[in-house]
Amino acid sequence: MPYDPAPTPVKPYIPATATLPEFTVRALVMGVVLGMIFGASSLYLVLKVGLTVSASIPVAVIAITLFGMFKKMGGRESTILENSITQTAGSAGESLAFGLGVTMPAIMILGFDLEISRVMLVGVLGGLLGILMMIPMRRTMIVDAHRDLKYPEGTACAEVLKAAATETSREAAGEVREAGSDAARDAKRRAAIIFGGFGLGLLYKVANVSLKGWKDVANFEFGAPLKAGSAGAEISPELVGVGYIIGPRIAFTMAAGGVLSYLLLIPMIKFFGELLTVPLSPGTMLIKDMGPDDIRNAYVLYIGAGAVAAGGLISLVRSLPSIWNGLRAGLAGMNGGKASAGPALRTDQDIPFKWVAIGCLAIIAIITFATPLHMNLLGALLILVFGFLFSTVSSRLTGEVGSSSNPISGMAVATLLFTCLIFLVMGWTGGRYYVTALSVGAIVCIAASNAGTTSQDLKTGFLVGSTPRLQQYAILCGAFASALILGPILLKLNDAGTVYVPAAQVAPGITVDASKLTETAQLQGPQAETDKKTYKVWRKTGTAGGPEGKYLVADDGKLAYLVDPGINGHHHTRPDGTEVKKYDAPKAVLMSYIIKGILDQQLPWTLVLFGVMISVVLEMAGIQALAFSVGVYLPLVSTLPIAVGGAVRWAADRRNNTLPQYAELDAEERQAAGDRSSGTLLASGYIAGGALAGIIIAITAGVMTNFDSMMAKWAEKSNPFFAGANADLLSLIPYAAIILLLYWVAREKPQN
């Protein structure tokens, strides 16, 4: 796409000559707080299913509503520019959560601890670096390429802000609107929908998980001829909301991958392997003694990881033309921009380039010398090169295909591949370089993700008439604050799901010389209530005598516990019999496999290549493989409810597209209308409420052990929705209620 130095000027909603309150304390604080909330819910989602959804429109609607409440309490009404600042600061958390969630859990899979200093450094430095690298390209990407780069989420968010503009903002824009107009009533209705969805999602999750009102997973296991096959669904509001927002195509494709794993691969492995008299590597049990989850953990996870790796690489290769065009246009804009003939208009003011350059160099210096990152000068230079490359690419691709279709994880895969190959050539192999390579990939991934989000926000500001410089300050503040809180949340979620498995069950008879171990640790989470001893830490490599991983060792050298992490762990039951929810973190597993596979060649390559061939076959058939491959890796109980949400979106869009107001719209315009519809707002509320409740429940598990045990005993004895022969079917009743409500709200009224 050629660079156009003379685009047709676009008139913003608020003229550049207008002066309205914009970068106010209340707007910034509200945006930062909302960014933390949506960042936390996005982190929860990316750990469970490997994806997030855009937070821009929900944050904008909530900001409009809260400012409206302040006005009714006697405060000053907000301006559209204040709402834009709040939305900008609030959107940073979601993109930061994605970058952290797809990379940092790989630290544990590689055998290291998830240190708070490391997670927070990666989040802060990556987030700020991506925003700073996007700033010099704003004019090229947002202004000059306005006609070509649509930035769909940013454009939709601008429409939401304009529809809810207050009287002060409308006067500045020269717009006349009656107080009781359709636009005013529509703004109130949209706010009621998203807040109602948030409250319903939160209450549903609390009643379901904390109060044990009904089973949270409905599961059905089959016998012959599909022996060991199973199908089920985690009946949670947040996953239905995700499916609705990403749409039926991606939702069904992900579920199809899960069907392949659970109704073909697992039964096939059981069928061919149950007569074996010795364990089949890399498994350590006889296949005849394995259940569906055992087979998945031993074999199918590697197949899924290979499929995800191949799908991500193929997606990246497919994007190479756009990547090249984006990089070329970005460089052309920086080199070919016109010098300003006088003071810049308010709507054309950026943070001065010298401060951007100083900020980038300062971040690179901190990265180089930060001890927790295990970084060296070469790694820092790779971050600078790949960070600039993929921040440019991410900004452009976001403008072309939107945030949801931007292959950020594919860019992280490419960064890791090149970094690991360079390390291999340099002879830097072994565990000490794992963290260095992952830190490079993580910071670049977060930078690229935040660059794309920054572009969407600047597009919104460009259309409504915001000051770019103030937006850039706002998203820097939002990213910094979210990075500070997401690290502790990530660690708490991991601790809440960690199981300390008695070593006698998994590695009997092994002893080590405790006098040579210097690292110590105590139990964390619910099990810490019954064992407060301090143990030595031993990190076992290899599977001889027991699984590899982190062990707690008593003073006499006997192994006490295998530490099975909450993220990507395999043990779902504590010694007292309580069930534990794990986080599969599919993208993080992919990152760890790339590092171990290249630097140490420690992978069951046969199974990985089986997965690669699944992606290759799909691409040969004309099917984009990445979403399907993620489904192969994830549990079917996670992807099936996403498909349910996608089915609701399909039914609602099919019905709405027959209405008169949709008759003149093309396919792209209908998609955009669906993305800002009432159904999308309710689904966003489901996601925020359900995910936030899930985080609170997980974090408080350690201090509410007695309450949880009491409710579990009651439910097992007296609640047919939770236990009993018909519990799986009965639990679908409240689930069906929130699904039907979503469809009912998504149905629009005919308009002439």
Whether residues 547 and 411 fall in one domain: no
- With a cut of 90, say whether residue 740 has pLDDT above it: yes
**In a shared domain, residues 489 and 540:** no
If one compares 705 and 399, the residue with the highest pLDDT of the two is: 399
Q: Nearest CA to 94 among 355, 479, 549?
A: 479
| Confidence grade of residue 4 (pLDDT, cut at 50, 70, 90) | very low
CA distances from 168 to 70, 191, 229, 572, 619 (A): 15, 20, 61, 56, 53
Q: Is residue 90 part of a domain?
A: yes
Q: What is the pLDDT of residue 337?
A: 46
The pLDDT assigned to 2 comes to 43
Average of per-residue pLDDT across 43-56 = 74
Residues 6+ apart with CB under 8 A from 608: 302, 303, 305, 306, 309, 593, 597
Same domain flag for 373 and 475: yes
Do you know the residue count of the chain?
A: 752
In the chain, % of residues over pLDDT 70: 88
pLDDT band at 743 (very low <50, low <70, confident <90, very high): very high
Q: What is the pLDDT of residues 615-650, one digit of tens each?
A: 999 999 988 787 788 788 778 888 899 899 999 999
Residue 744 pLDDT exceeds 90: yes
Q: What percent of the chain has pLDDT over 90?
A: 14
For residue 521, count other CB atoms closer than 10 A to its CB. Answer: 15
DSSP code at position 701:
G
The residue type of 67 is F
Report how far residue 623's alpha carbon sits from residue 260's, in angstroms, rounded to the nearest whole number.
15
Please state the rounded mean pLDDT for residues 255-261.
Answer: 93
Nearest to 213 by CA among 711, 736, 688, 738: 711
Domain C-terminal end among 477, 496, 515: 496
d(CA 695, CA 691): 6
The answer as to whether 13 is a domain residue is: no
| Residue 463 shares a structural domain with residue 557 | no
Do 631 and 541 reside in the same domain of the chain?
no
The residue among 675, 464, 487 whose CA lies nearest residue 100 is 487
What single-letter DSSP state applies at residue 632?
A: H
pLDDT (average), residues 357-361? 87
Among 143, 150, 151, 155, which residue's Cα sits nearest to residue 3? 143
Lowest mean pLDDT segment, chosen from 53-67, 271-285, 546-560, 628-642: 53-67
Tell whether 534 and 624 lie within a shared domain.
no
Question: Per-residue pLDDT tens for 526-545?
Answer: 788 888 899 999 988 777 78
* H or E stretch covering 618: helix 605-620
Residues 649 and 678 in one domain: yes
Provide the pLDDT for residue 16.
86
Per residue in 708-718, pLDDT (tens digit) is 778 888 888 88
Residue 293 exposed, middle or buried by CB count within 10 Å (0-12, 13-18, 19+): middle
Note whether residue 403 is domain-resident.
yes
Domain membership flag for residue 593: no
| Whether residue 329 is found in the same domain as residue 433 | yes
Q: Are 489 and 47 in contact (CB under 8 A)?
A: no
Q: For 501, phi and psi rounded to 5 degrees?
A: -85, 125
Q: Answer whether residue 85 shows pLDDT above 90.
A: yes
User: End-to-end alpha-carbon separation of the chain, Å?
Assistant: 39
Domain that holds residue 516: 499-564
For residue 218, give Cα distances in angstroms to 473, 693, 728, 730, 732: 46, 20, 5, 9, 8
Q: What is the mean pLDDT of residues 8-30?
A: 86
DSSP symbol at 686: H
- Which amino acid would we find at residue 147? R
pLDDT value at 658 more than 90: no
- The strand pair at 520-522 and 499-502 is best described as unpaired
Which helix (H) or strand (E) segment holds residue 234: the answer is strand 230-234
pLDDT in tens, 96-111: 888 888 888 888 777 7
Cis amide leading into 267 (omega within 30): no
| 0.75 surpassed by pTM | no
331 vs 268, residue with greater confidence = 268
Please tell me whether residues 304 and 328 are part of one structural domain: no
Q: In DSSP terms, which residues pair with 73 in a beta bridge?
A: none
Among the three residues 496, 522, 539, which one is the final residue of a domain in this structure?
496
**Which span out of 202-211, 367-376, 583-592, 612-621 was modeled with the highest average pLDDT?**
612-621
- 1 found inside a domain: no
What pLDDT digit, counting tens, does each position of 281-333 carry? 888 789 988 888 889 878 887 888 788 778 767 766 776 675 566 556 545 55
The reply to whether 76 and 215 lie within a common domain is no
Q: Tell me, yes or no, whether 381 lies in a domain.
A: yes
Asked whether residue 346 falls in the same domain as residue 491, the answer is yes
Q: Is the pLDDT of residue 737 over 90?
A: yes
CA-to-CA dists, residue 72 to 34, 68, 374, 629, angstroms: 21, 7, 53, 50
The b-or-e profile of 296-324 (16+ CB within 10 A means b, else e) is: bbbbbbbbbbbbbbbbbbbbbeebeebbe
Q: Is there a domain that residue 577 lies in?
A: no
- pLDDT attached to residue 341: 47
Return the structure tokens found at 103: 């990379």
SS3 state at 549: strand
CA 458, CA 131: separation in Å to the nearest integer?
11
What is the chain's mean pLDDT, rounded? 82
| 95: confidence class by pLDDT, cuts 50, 70, 90 | confident
* Residue among 623, 647, 629, 70 at smallest CA distance from 306: 629
* Residue 237: inside a domain: yes
29-48 average pLDDT score: 86
Residues 31 and 135 in one domain: yes
Half-sphere exposure for 423 (CA within 13 Å, toward CB): 30
Q: Is the pLDDT of residue 153 over 90?
A: no
44-53, 152-161, 340-349, 731-740 — most confident range: 731-740
209 — pLDDT class (breaks 50, 70, 90): confident
∠ Cα 268 270 276 (to 5°): 120
- Which among 544, 564, 584 is the end of a domain? 564
Summary count for the chain: helices (H), strands (E) = 30, 7
The total domain count for the chain is 3
pLDDT of residue 323: 55
Residue whose structure tokens are 């939002």: 478
- 155 and 675 in contact (C-beta within 8 Å)? no
Kind of pairing between the strands at 499-502 and 230-234: unpaired
The answer to whether residues 11 and 463 touch, using CB atoms and an 8 Å cutoff, is no
Mean pLDDT of 261-280: 91
